[in-house]
Amino acid sequence: MTDAPQEHIAPILTPEGWELLASLGPYREDDAFRLTAELRKAGHSPELVSAVLTQSRLRTKAEAKFGEFARQMIFTQAGLEQATRLTVAARHAQRFVEAGVGHVADLGCGLGADAMALASMDLVVTAVEMDETTAACATMNLIPFRNASVVHSDATSVSLEGVDGVWLDPARRTTSTSGTKRIWDPEDFSPPLSFVESLAGSGRAVGVKMGPGMPHDSVPAGCEAQWVSVAGDVTEVALWFNAVRRPGVRRAALVLGALGAAELTSGEDFDGGPAAPLGPVEGYLYEPDGAVIRAGLVADVALQLGGHLVDEHIAYICAPELHNTPFAKAYKVLEVMPFNVKALKSWVKDQGIGVLDIKKRGMAVTPEELRKQLLPGGKPAGAKGKSKKSATLVLTRIGEDRVAVSVEPVELQ
């Protein structure tokens, strides 16, 4: 990974810089100009002022992933984008603990989130990072842990003598002056997926974090693939080999939400598993969590709900009754209409709808553009409009037919 220039971090790694950064409160964009002027007037160099304000902004942004720990950490923009949330990193670390691993090499450690979680569980951690700036950040972030060390090296060439577990978070973005760009081919990652497989071939306990959009046919044989979603956002698929792979589990969907964690697993390969029946749009419509969809477990959820798919290629489930499930959002079906823009525009007007939320699956329709057609000056759900009446439309395909389903969201406990 190529990150920000070293000098953007260096001013902070001094007593003056560290003290100044610690003195700042939460970052507020509307205060940045005033604060910059005040710090410059106080005699701080432009380089230091820029560096501490950048870190203050990144720390505030990082609280979503790191909570209160973000206040003591050092970040880069690219590193923060790829960093694992601490709640998820703790689950990674627990795998190695339960497997009886004692020394983990975190190859491509980035800012050190996973290394922090591993070290907090009393594992010996060797964190390896090729980018000099990022390695400096990881070193600072791991200072509280005496059982963790950072090595500035290429992950593919570092010695693994005495290491019985390996965790990898390959760089999946390239960074340039214009920003970061995502890489899609696993063999273009740094390190590549083939390197991960070679490590697993040594018999060590190996885990690797991959992008959630990883195609099923790219998942290596002989590993467990666990897709993870946090508050409805699919954050990763982790591949687990050897001792950290759970017996009888080929694929899994782990859903982390406000009510805790829930997981659905299958021992079947991606082309196996149960088949769900097909049926009409009726009763309650369920929208499976993204991790469930990515893991290919939609049919499993449909059977759990006593429901059916509306189309064999579309990830919408209907069931006659309402069921409490962590694996899908539920909507009460109010009306099913053919998809026709002119008819839908009349329907919106007749219903007196002022706020319209549009969801779609299996149709080449842009919700924002359709909303403009159906509701001139229309607003998405949650926006303030002249009319307080809101509606939710689900657009989907059933065989060759395109339909618009008026639904009402249901809050599941």
Please tell me the predicted confidence (pLDDT) of residue 38. Answer: 93
Question: Can you list the residues of the chain whose pLDDT is less than 70?
Answer: 1-7, 173-181, 183, 377-388, 413
Q: What is the pLDDT of residues 230-268, one digit of tens each?
A: 999 999 999 999 999 999 999 999 999 988 999 999 999
With vertex at residue 208, the alpha carbon angle to CA 313 and CA 187, rounded to the nearest 5 degrees, is 75
Please tell me the predicted confidence (pLDDT) of residue 173. Answer: 64
Please tell me the predicted confidence (pLDDT) of residue 185. Answer: 76
Q: What is the pLDDT of residues 264-318, one digit of tens each?
A: 999 999 999 899 999 999 999 999 999 999 999 999 999 999 999 999 999 999 9
Pairing mode of beta strands 173-176, 205-210? unpaired
Q: CB 409: neighbour CB atoms within 10 A?
A: 14
Please tell me the predicted confidence (pLDDT) of residue 381. Answer: 53
* E-state strands within 215-311: 223-230, 233-241, 251-257, 260-266, 284-288, 308-309
Please tell me the predicted confidence (pLDDT) of residue 376. Answer: 76
Please tell me the predicted confidence (pLDDT) of residue 2. Answer: 41
Residues 116, 118, 122, 127: is their CA dihedral positive or negative? negative
DSSP string, 16-70: HHHHHHHH--S--GGGHHHHHHHHHHTT--HHHHHHHHHHHHHHHHHHHHHGGGG
Distance CA 51, CA 74 (A): 11
Query: Residue 177 is which amino acid?
Result: T
With vertex at residue 198, the alpha carbon angle to CA 193 and CA 204, rounded to the nearest 5 degrees, is 110
Please tell me the predicted confidence (pLDDT) of residue 411. Answer: 84
Pairing mode of beta strands 328-338, 401-410? antiparallel
Please tell me the predicted confidence (pLDDT) of residue 4. Answer: 43
100 Cβ neighbours under 8 A, 6+ residues apart: 243
Whether the predicted model's global pTM rises above the 0.75 cut:
yes
Rg (CA), the chain: 25
Please tell me the predicted confidence (pLDDT) of residue 230. Answer: 96
Please tell me the predicted confidence (pLDDT) of residue 3. Answer: 46
